[in-house]
Amino acid sequence: MRKGQYRFVAGFLVVPVALYMVFVIWPYIQTFGYSLTDWKGQSQEFSFVGLDNYTTLFKDDVFMGAIWHNILFLIFIPAITILLALFFAFMLNAGGRGRAGGVAGVAGSGFYKIVYFFPQVLSLAILAVLFGAVYRSDSGGMLNGVLIKLGLVDEGTPVEWLNEPNMVLWALMAVVVWHGVGFYLVLFSAAMQSIPRDIYEAALIDGASRAHTFFRITLPLLWDSVQTAWVYLGIAAMDMFILVTTMTSGDYGGGPDHHSEVMATVMMRNFLLYGKSGYACAMGVIMLLLTLIVSVVTLRATRRERIEF
Protein backbone atom coordinates (compact mmCIF):
# COMPACT_ATOMS: atom_id res chain seq x y z
CA MET A 1 0.00 0.00 0.00
CA ARG A 2 1.41 3.35 -1.01
CA LYS A 3 1.89 6.28 1.35
CA GLY A 4 -1.06 8.21 -0.06
CA GLN A 5 -3.33 5.22 0.45
CA TYR A 6 -2.34 5.00 4.13
CA ARG A 7 -3.39 8.62 4.59
CA PHE A 8 -6.65 8.00 2.76
CA VAL A 9 -7.56 4.98 4.96
CA ALA A 10 -6.42 6.75 8.14
CA GLY A 11 -8.61 9.72 7.28
CA PHE A 12 -11.68 7.49 7.22
CA LEU A 13 -10.73 5.77 10.48
CA VAL A 14 -10.11 8.86 12.59
CA VAL A 15 -13.75 9.75 13.26
CA PRO A 16 -15.03 6.17 13.95
CA VAL A 17 -12.10 5.40 16.24
CA ALA A 18 -12.55 8.71 18.08
CA LEU A 19 -16.27 8.02 18.58
CA TYR A 20 -15.50 4.50 19.80
CA MET A 21 -12.96 5.82 22.29
CA VAL A 22 -15.36 8.47 23.62
CA PHE A 23 -18.54 6.41 23.85
CA VAL A 24 -17.18 2.90 24.57
CA ILE A 25 -13.64 2.87 25.97
CA TRP A 26 -13.91 5.99 28.14
CA PRO A 27 -17.02 4.80 30.05
CA TYR A 28 -15.16 1.57 30.85
CA ILE A 29 -12.24 3.57 32.20
CA GLN A 30 -14.58 5.76 34.25
CA THR A 31 -16.34 2.70 35.68
CA PHE A 32 -13.05 1.23 36.82
CA GLY A 33 -12.11 4.57 38.41
CA TYR A 34 -15.40 4.82 40.29
CA SER A 35 -15.01 1.22 41.48
CA LEU A 36 -12.05 2.38 43.57
CA THR A 37 -14.16 4.93 45.45
CA ASP A 38 -17.16 5.08 47.80
CA TRP A 39 -19.21 7.04 45.27
CA LYS A 40 -22.91 7.22 46.17
CA GLY A 41 -24.11 8.06 42.68
CA GLN A 42 -25.96 11.28 43.56
CA SER A 43 -23.02 13.67 43.63
CA GLN A 44 -19.41 13.95 42.57
CA GLU A 45 -18.21 13.85 46.18
CA PHE A 46 -16.45 10.59 46.95
CA SER A 47 -13.36 9.21 48.63
CA PHE A 48 -10.74 6.85 47.33
CA VAL A 49 -11.03 3.42 49.00
CA GLY A 50 -8.68 1.39 46.81
CA LEU A 51 -9.61 -2.27 46.44
CA ASP A 52 -12.02 -2.31 49.39
CA ASN A 53 -15.05 -2.68 47.10
CA TYR A 54 -13.51 -5.74 45.44
CA THR A 55 -12.62 -7.27 48.81
CA THR A 56 -16.20 -6.78 50.03
CA LEU A 57 -17.61 -8.03 46.75
CA PHE A 58 -15.99 -11.47 47.03
CA LYS A 59 -17.39 -11.81 50.55
CA ASP A 60 -20.90 -10.96 49.33
CA ASP A 61 -22.88 -14.22 49.38
CA VAL A 62 -25.62 -12.79 47.14
CA PHE A 63 -23.18 -11.72 44.43
CA MET A 64 -21.21 -14.98 44.61
CA GLY A 65 -24.49 -16.88 44.29
CA ALA A 66 -25.37 -14.73 41.29
CA ILE A 67 -22.05 -15.66 39.65
CA TRP A 68 -22.91 -19.33 40.12
CA HIS A 69 -26.32 -18.80 38.50
CA ASN A 70 -24.67 -17.10 35.53
CA ILE A 71 -22.29 -20.05 35.24
CA LEU A 72 -25.25 -22.44 35.10
CA PHE A 73 -26.81 -20.32 32.36
CA LEU A 74 -23.46 -20.28 30.59
CA ILE A 75 -23.27 -24.08 30.63
CA PHE A 76 -26.79 -24.98 29.62
CA ILE A 77 -28.16 -22.16 27.43
CA PRO A 78 -25.53 -22.32 24.64
CA ALA A 79 -25.40 -26.13 24.66
CA ILE A 80 -29.17 -26.69 24.48
CA THR A 81 -29.81 -23.85 22.02
CA ILE A 82 -27.06 -24.89 19.60
CA LEU A 83 -27.96 -28.59 19.73
CA LEU A 84 -31.62 -27.90 18.98
CA ALA A 85 -30.79 -25.36 16.27
CA LEU A 86 -28.34 -27.76 14.60
CA PHE A 87 -30.83 -30.62 14.69
CA PHE A 88 -33.68 -28.58 13.22
CA ALA A 89 -31.43 -26.92 10.62
CA PHE A 90 -30.10 -30.30 9.48
CA MET A 91 -33.59 -31.75 9.18
CA LEU A 92 -34.81 -28.71 7.24
CA ASN A 93 -31.88 -28.79 4.80
CA ALA A 94 -30.67 -32.36 4.51
CA GLY A 95 -33.02 -34.48 6.58
CA GLY A 96 -35.27 -35.70 3.76
CA ARG A 97 -34.37 -38.31 1.18
CA GLY A 98 -37.46 -38.66 -0.93
CA ARG A 99 -36.64 -36.25 -3.76
CA ALA A 100 -34.52 -36.53 -6.86
CA GLY A 101 -30.83 -36.38 -6.12
CA GLY A 102 -31.25 -38.08 -2.76
CA VAL A 103 -30.70 -35.01 -0.56
CA ALA A 104 -33.38 -32.52 0.44
CA GLY A 105 -34.96 -31.00 3.48
CA VAL A 106 -38.16 -32.27 5.02
CA ALA A 107 -41.40 -31.29 3.33
CA GLY A 108 -42.49 -27.75 4.17
CA SER A 109 -39.05 -26.70 5.36
CA GLY A 110 -39.55 -23.09 4.21
CA PHE A 111 -42.68 -22.78 6.35
CA TYR A 112 -40.95 -24.34 9.35
CA LYS A 113 -38.12 -21.82 9.13
CA ILE A 114 -40.61 -18.96 9.41
CA VAL A 115 -42.36 -20.61 12.37
CA TYR A 116 -39.11 -21.29 14.20
CA PHE A 117 -37.81 -17.78 13.57
CA PHE A 118 -40.98 -16.07 14.79
CA PRO A 119 -39.94 -15.87 18.49
CA GLN A 120 -36.87 -13.88 17.43
CA VAL A 121 -39.00 -10.93 16.28
CA LEU A 122 -40.39 -10.51 19.80
CA SER A 123 -38.50 -8.34 22.26
CA LEU A 124 -37.42 -9.77 25.60
CA ALA A 125 -39.90 -7.49 27.37
CA ILE A 126 -42.77 -9.01 25.37
CA LEU A 127 -41.40 -12.49 26.03
CA ALA A 128 -41.40 -11.75 29.75
CA VAL A 129 -45.10 -10.82 29.62
CA LEU A 130 -45.92 -13.83 27.43
CA PHE A 131 -44.15 -16.37 29.61
CA GLY A 132 -45.43 -14.66 32.73
CA ALA A 133 -48.84 -15.89 31.58
CA VAL A 134 -47.45 -19.31 30.68
CA TYR A 135 -45.89 -19.73 34.14
CA ARG A 136 -48.79 -18.34 36.17
CA SER A 137 -49.07 -20.18 39.47
CA ASP A 138 -52.78 -20.96 39.18
CA SER A 139 -55.08 -22.86 36.85
CA GLY A 140 -55.14 -19.83 34.52
CA GLY A 141 -51.51 -20.38 33.59
CA MET A 142 -50.95 -22.35 30.40
CA LEU A 143 -48.61 -24.96 31.89
CA ASN A 144 -50.62 -25.46 35.04
CA GLY A 145 -53.85 -25.55 33.04
CA VAL A 146 -52.49 -28.33 30.81
CA LEU A 147 -51.12 -30.32 33.76
CA ILE A 148 -54.44 -30.01 35.61
CA LYS A 149 -56.38 -31.17 32.55
CA LEU A 150 -54.07 -34.17 32.23
CA GLY A 151 -54.54 -34.97 35.90
CA LEU A 152 -50.83 -34.60 36.67
CA VAL A 153 -51.33 -31.69 39.08
CA ASP A 154 -54.09 -31.05 41.60
CA GLU A 155 -56.06 -27.88 40.93
CA GLY A 156 -55.65 -26.77 44.53
CA THR A 157 -51.86 -27.05 44.48
CA PRO A 158 -50.60 -25.79 41.10
CA VAL A 159 -46.89 -25.62 40.37
CA GLU A 160 -45.16 -22.37 41.37
CA TRP A 161 -42.86 -22.25 38.37
CA LEU A 162 -41.21 -18.93 39.21
CA ASN A 163 -41.42 -19.23 42.98
CA GLU A 164 -39.85 -22.66 43.43
CA PRO A 165 -36.13 -22.25 44.27
CA ASN A 166 -35.19 -25.43 42.39
CA MET A 167 -37.29 -24.61 39.34
CA VAL A 168 -36.99 -20.89 38.64
CA LEU A 169 -33.61 -21.05 36.84
CA TRP A 170 -34.82 -23.79 34.52
CA ALA A 171 -37.97 -21.83 33.74
CA LEU A 172 -35.85 -18.82 32.75
CA MET A 173 -33.53 -21.00 30.66
CA ALA A 174 -36.51 -22.37 28.74
CA VAL A 175 -37.52 -18.84 27.73
CA VAL A 176 -34.04 -18.00 26.42
CA VAL A 177 -33.75 -21.26 24.50
CA TRP A 178 -37.22 -20.85 22.98
CA HIS A 179 -36.29 -17.32 21.91
CA GLY A 180 -32.89 -18.17 20.46
CA VAL A 181 -33.32 -21.47 18.63
CA GLY A 182 -35.03 -19.89 15.61
CA PHE A 183 -32.29 -17.34 15.01
CA TYR A 184 -29.48 -19.87 15.13
CA LEU A 185 -31.53 -22.30 13.05
CA VAL A 186 -31.62 -19.69 10.27
CA LEU A 187 -27.89 -18.98 10.77
CA PHE A 188 -26.97 -22.66 10.49
CA SER A 189 -29.38 -23.17 7.60
CA ALA A 190 -27.69 -20.41 5.61
CA ALA A 191 -24.32 -22.05 6.28
CA MET A 192 -25.62 -25.50 5.31
CA GLN A 193 -27.00 -24.22 2.03
CA SER A 194 -23.47 -23.21 1.03
CA ILE A 195 -22.31 -26.85 1.36
CA PRO A 196 -22.31 -28.50 -2.10
CA ARG A 197 -25.01 -31.17 -2.44
CA ASP A 198 -22.48 -33.39 -4.21
CA ILE A 199 -20.79 -34.04 -0.86
CA TYR A 200 -24.02 -35.32 0.68
CA GLU A 201 -24.88 -37.37 -2.39
CA ALA A 202 -21.45 -39.01 -2.41
CA ALA A 203 -21.84 -39.89 1.26
CA LEU A 204 -25.26 -41.42 0.64
CA ILE A 205 -23.91 -43.48 -2.26
CA ASP A 206 -21.18 -44.79 0.06
CA GLY A 207 -23.88 -45.89 2.51
CA ALA A 208 -23.50 -43.18 5.15
CA SER A 209 -26.38 -42.94 7.61
CA ARG A 210 -28.05 -39.67 8.53
CA ALA A 211 -26.09 -39.52 11.80
CA HIS A 212 -22.77 -40.12 10.00
CA THR A 213 -23.67 -37.45 7.45
CA PHE A 214 -24.31 -34.93 10.21
CA PHE A 215 -21.23 -35.63 12.35
CA ARG A 216 -18.74 -36.26 9.53
CA ILE A 217 -19.88 -33.64 6.99
CA THR A 218 -22.32 -31.05 8.30
CA LEU A 219 -20.88 -30.29 11.73
CA PRO A 220 -17.20 -29.93 10.66
CA LEU A 221 -18.16 -27.61 7.81
CA LEU A 222 -20.38 -25.52 10.11
CA TRP A 223 -17.85 -25.23 12.92
CA ASP A 224 -17.10 -21.52 12.36
CA SER A 225 -20.82 -20.71 12.66
CA VAL A 226 -21.15 -22.89 15.77
CA GLN A 227 -18.17 -21.14 17.35
CA THR A 228 -19.72 -17.72 16.69
CA ALA A 229 -23.07 -18.84 18.08
CA TRP A 230 -21.41 -20.17 21.23
CA VAL A 231 -19.71 -16.84 21.92
CA TYR A 232 -22.90 -14.79 21.44
CA LEU A 233 -24.99 -17.17 23.55
CA GLY A 234 -22.30 -17.13 26.22
CA ILE A 235 -22.46 -13.33 26.37
CA ALA A 236 -26.27 -13.50 26.60
CA ALA A 237 -26.00 -16.03 29.44
CA MET A 238 -23.73 -13.62 31.33
CA ASP A 239 -26.49 -10.98 31.19
CA MET A 240 -30.10 -12.23 31.67
CA PHE A 241 -31.03 -8.91 33.33
CA ILE A 242 -34.29 -8.20 31.47
CA LEU A 243 -35.87 -11.61 31.98
CA VAL A 244 -34.89 -11.91 35.63
CA THR A 245 -36.08 -8.42 36.57
CA THR A 246 -39.41 -8.71 34.77
CA MET A 247 -40.31 -12.33 35.51
CA THR A 248 -39.13 -12.93 39.09
CA SER A 249 -40.13 -11.39 42.41
CA GLY A 250 -38.23 -8.81 44.43
CA ASP A 251 -36.72 -5.42 43.71
CA TYR A 252 -35.06 -5.81 40.29
CA GLY A 253 -35.95 -9.51 40.42
CA GLY A 254 -33.85 -12.28 41.85
CA GLY A 255 -36.56 -14.02 43.84
CA PRO A 256 -37.50 -16.21 45.49
CA ASP A 257 -34.93 -15.48 48.19
CA HIS A 258 -32.13 -14.67 45.69
CA HIS A 259 -32.46 -18.05 43.93
CA SER A 260 -32.65 -16.40 40.49
CA GLU A 261 -30.12 -13.63 41.05
CA VAL A 262 -27.66 -12.84 38.26
CA MET A 263 -24.74 -10.44 38.42
CA ALA A 264 -26.61 -7.71 36.56
CA THR A 265 -29.57 -7.68 38.97
CA VAL A 266 -27.32 -7.47 42.04
CA MET A 267 -25.35 -4.66 40.41
CA MET A 268 -28.41 -2.60 39.49
CA ARG A 269 -29.98 -3.06 42.92
CA ASN A 270 -26.84 -1.73 44.61
CA PHE A 271 -26.54 1.11 42.11
CA LEU A 272 -30.14 2.36 42.03
CA LEU A 273 -31.71 1.12 45.27
CA TYR A 274 -28.97 1.03 47.88
CA GLY A 275 -26.93 3.99 46.62
CA LYS A 276 -23.71 1.96 46.56
CA SER A 277 -22.63 3.15 43.15
CA GLY A 278 -18.90 2.63 43.64
CA TYR A 279 -19.57 -0.91 44.85
CA ALA A 280 -21.84 -1.51 41.86
CA CYS A 281 -19.11 -0.25 39.52
CA ALA A 282 -16.79 -2.89 41.00
CA MET A 283 -19.40 -5.51 40.11
CA GLY A 284 -19.56 -4.10 36.60
CA VAL A 285 -15.79 -4.44 36.23
CA ILE A 286 -15.95 -8.07 37.38
CA MET A 287 -18.77 -8.73 34.89
CA LEU A 288 -16.67 -7.24 32.09
CA LEU A 289 -13.63 -9.34 33.01
CA LEU A 290 -15.67 -12.54 33.30
CA THR A 291 -17.36 -11.91 29.94
CA LEU A 292 -14.01 -11.31 28.26
CA ILE A 293 -12.59 -14.47 29.83
CA VAL A 294 -15.60 -16.49 28.70
CA SER A 295 -15.27 -15.18 25.13
CA VAL A 296 -11.54 -15.88 24.92
CA VAL A 297 -11.81 -19.34 26.49
CA THR A 298 -14.72 -20.27 24.22
CA LEU A 299 -12.84 -19.18 21.10
CA ARG A 300 -9.72 -21.06 22.20
CA ALA A 301 -11.57 -24.19 23.29
CA THR A 302 -13.61 -24.45 20.09
CA ARG A 303 -10.76 -23.58 17.75
CA ARG A 304 -9.94 -26.26 15.22
CA GLU A 305 -8.36 -26.59 11.80
CA ARG A 306 -10.45 -24.92 9.13
CA ILE A 307 -12.08 -27.35 6.71
CA GLU A 308 -12.70 -26.13 3.17
CA PHE A 309 -14.65 -27.58 0.28
119 preceded by a cis bond (ω within 30 of 0): no
Q: Is 106 helix (H, G, I), strand (E, B) or coil?
A: coil
Other beta carbons within 10 Å of 29: 10
Q: What is the pLDDT of residues 166-187, one digit of tens each?
A: 999 999 999 999 999 999 998 9
Backbone angles phi, psi at 229, to 5 degrees: -60, -40
Q: Is residue 29 one of the residues assigned to a domain?
A: no
138 pLDDT band, cuts 50/70/90, is confident
Q: Is residue 1 one of the residues assigned to a domain?
A: no
Give the span between the Cα atoms of 28 and 20, in whole angstroms.
11
Residue ranges making up the domain that contains 251 = 51-301
Q: How many domains in the chain?
A: 1
Average pLDDT over residues 194-222: 79
Give the span between the Cα atoms of 85 and 135, in whole angstroms.
24
Residue 241, classified by CB atoms within 10 Å of its CB into exposed (0-12), middle (13-18) or buried (19+), is middle
Q: Is residue 224 one of the residues assigned to a domain?
A: yes
Q: Is residue 273 one of the residues assigned to a domain?
A: yes
CATH number at residue 99: 1.10.3720.10
pLDDT at 3: 58
Q: Is residue 16 one of the residues assigned to a domain?
A: no
* 245/103: higher pLDDT: 245
